[in-house]
Amino acid sequence: MYRYGDGTPFPLDENFIETLTSAVESCTNAFMPLTELDERRQRSKAARIEADAELSRLAELEQVLNASLAPFLVPDKKAGQAVQVAQKTQLAGKQAAQASRVQIESRVSALVGQASAGTASDAVLQALRPFFDHQQLPSAKWTMKWDVRAGEPIAEAVMAAGRLTAQFRLAVEQFRMPIRVDTLAEAVIVHMMKKGLLGKAKPAPVDLGKYVMVAFERTANEHVITLREKPDRQSQGLRFTVAEHTATWQSITLTGENETEPNPLDSEDFAGIRRLGDGAQNALKDLTSSRSLSDITLGGQPLAQLPEPRVVPMELLHQLTPLARTIRERSRMSGELVLKRDVAGGKREELFVNRAVLAQHFVKLPDGYRKPFEEMGIAGEDTQPAIQLPQNLRPPAKTTPPPITNPVPVAAPPAKPALEDQPTMSTHVIIDDDELKE
C-alpha cells in the first residue's frame, strides 16, 4: 500500500514518483520539437509579410512600366519600330514579374510546409513513447485483443484515459499458438442444444477441455472468447461473450463466421465460462507489459491530424496535476515530492524525488511550455515543510527588564535569628489533578 508523505493513504497502488518522473522527461522531450515548430511558424509568418511587400512592389513596377510605355503603344505608321519595341518591352516586363511572383510564392509555400503541424507529430509521438510504453495515467482503462487464427498472430491494446487514447502493438513471441482450454481453467462444461437420433434438439453437456482458444478480446465490460475444436487445422468452434453476470454463446463455421445468433448460456454453466474468461485474461496479462506505442488520439482525432500537437503532452500533464499537487502539499520535506510504501514487518519504504532535479528537465523550455510543469507544483523553488509548529506552542521570547534609572534606597532587612533560635516547620504541597492538567 502506498501513502502520502504525511502517512495518509495514496489512491493508486503504483509508484507514482516513477510515473511523474517519466512524464516530465517525456513531455519535455515532446516540447522540444514543438519549440522548433514555433520558430518555423514565425519564419513562415515573416516570409509571408516580406513576400506581400515584394508582390506589392512588383505590382507598382508594372504600373510604372505600363504608364511609361503607354505613349509608345499608340499605333503610328511613322513610329512602327518604336511601337514594336514598346510592345516587346511590356510583354517581357509582364513575364519577368510573373516569374518573380511564382518564385516568391514557391519560397513562401516551402516555409509554410515546413511549419505545418504534421512535421512535428512524429517527433512528439517518438518522445512520448517511453512514458506510454512503461507507465499509465491514473484513470486509465484498458482493452486488449489477441488472435492467432490468421497466418500471423495479432495482439493489440488500447489505453483510454479521459480525452487521451493510446494504441499499442503487443509482442506475441510467447503467445503465437492456440491455447488449450484445460490449461486455462479446469472442468469447463456447458450445455448446448444438439440434435438427437429422432431429430429433436436436446440440451447436451459439452466438455470444453480439449478445445483450444484461438482469439480473446477484453473490453471494459466483457470478455469475448473464441474456441476451436482442433488446434492444427480449421474446424468448427464456439464463441462466448462473458459479462459480469451473464454470458452468451454462438456456433462459428470453419471460416470463423458466426453460424448462429447469440444464445443465453444456462445459469449453471456461467461459473465455468467465467473461470475460463478469468484464466484467459490471467494467461495473457503479460502481453500488455511488453507493448509499443503506435498512435495517440485526442478527442478521437489522431495526433498527426491535430492542428496543435502540443495539446497532447499538455493533456498528459494536466491529468497528472491533481495528484502531483497533493503529493507536494503532503510532503513534509522541503523541496521534495515524497511517497511511502508499506512493506513487510511493520516497515515503510520512502520514495522521493527532489523537485529541483525535475525542474532541470524543463527549465530550458520557453515560458509557455514551462507553465504546465509549474502548475503541477513541481518547480524547483524551496518551500517550508507542510507541518509547522503552532504559534501558541512556541516558547515565549526572553525579555530583559528595563534598567533602573533612579534607584531608591532600601532599608536593610532585619537580621535573621540564629538557626537554633528559628522554629521548626514542615511544608506539604498538594497539587490537584485538575490543576495539573491545566
Residue 199 lies in a domain: yes
Q: How large is the average pLDDT for residues 387-412? A: 50
Residue 327 lies in a domain: no
Residue 253 lies in a domain: yes
Which set of grid coordinates corresponds to residue 185?
481453467
On the question of pLDDT at 332 being above 60, the answer is yes
Residue 361 lies in a domain: no
Q: What is the pLDDT of residue 203?
A: 73
When divided into structural domains, the chain yields a total of: 2
Of the candidates 286, 283, 214, 208, the residue with the CA atom closest to the CA atom of residue 247? 208
What is the percentage of the chain residues whose pLDDT exceeds 70?
84
Q: What is the pLDDT of residues 59-95, one digit of tens each?
A: 999 999 999 988 888 877 666 788 889 889 999 999 9
Q: What is the pLDDT of residues 338-374, one digit of tens each?
A: 999 998 888 889 999 999 999 999 999 999 999 999 9
On the question of pLDDT at 266 being above 90, the answer is no
Q: What is the pLDDT of residue 438?
A: 37
Residue 329 lies in a domain: no
| Model confidence, pTM | 0.77
Residue ending a domain, among 255, 283, 311, is 283
Q: What is the pLDDT of residue 161?
A: 96
DSSP 379: -
Q: What is the pLDDT of residue 226?
A: 94
Q: What is the pLDDT of residue 145?
A: 95
Same domain, 189 and 260: yes
Q: What is the pLDDT of residues 135-181, one digit of tens each?
A: 999 999 999 999 998 878 999 999 999 999 999 999 988 899 999 99
Which set of grid coordinates corresponds to residue 348?
515503510
Compute φ and ψ for 91, nearest 5 degrees.
-65, -40
On the question of pLDDT at 277 being above 60, the answer is yes
Q: What is the pLDDT of residues 180-206, one digit of tens each?
A: 999 999 989 998 766 655 566 677 888
What is the pLDDT confidence band of residue 418, given thresholds at 50, 70 and 90? very low
Residue with more model confidence, 423 or 377 = 377
Q: How large is the average pLDDT for residues 298-302? A: 95
Q: What is the pLDDT of residue 198?
A: 59
Q: What is the pLDDT of residue 305?
A: 94
Residue 20 lies in a domain: no
Residue 177's identity, in one-letter code, is M
Tell me the pLDDT of the chain averaged across its residues. 85
Measured CA to CA, the distance from residue 386 to residue 6 in angstroms comes to 9
Compute φ and ψ for 151, nearest 5 degrees.
-65, -40
Q: What is the pLDDT of residue 253?
A: 85
Q: What is the pLDDT of residues 200-246, one digit of tens each?
A: 667 788 899 999 999 999 998 899 999 998 887 778 889 999 998 89
Residue ending a domain, among 84, 116, 148, is 116
Residue 109 lies in a domain: yes
Which set of grid coordinates corresponds to residue 44?
513562415
Torsion of CA 228, 232, 235, 240, to 10 degrees: 10
Same domain, 98 and 191: no
Same domain, 279 and 188: yes
Same domain, 183 and 278: yes
What is the sign, positive or negative, of the torsion defined by CA atoms of 36, 42, 44, 47? negative
Three-state DSSP class for 251?
strand
Same domain, 190 and 272: yes
Of the candidates 327, 302, 366, the residue with the CA atom closest to the CA atom of residue 28? 366
- CB neighbour class for 199 (10 Å; exposed up to 12, middle 13-18, buried from 19): exposed
Residue ending a domain, among 116, 131, 160, is 116
Residue 143 lies in a domain: no
Three-state DSSP class for 404?
coil
Q: What is the pLDDT of residue 428?
A: 37
Measured CA to CA, the distance from residue 155 to residue 144 in angstroms comes to 7
Domain span at residue 67?
32-116
What letters, b where the CB count within 10 A reaches 16 and e where it falls short, cover 222-244?
bbbbbbbeebeeeeebbbbbbee
Q: What is the pLDDT of residue 119?
A: 92
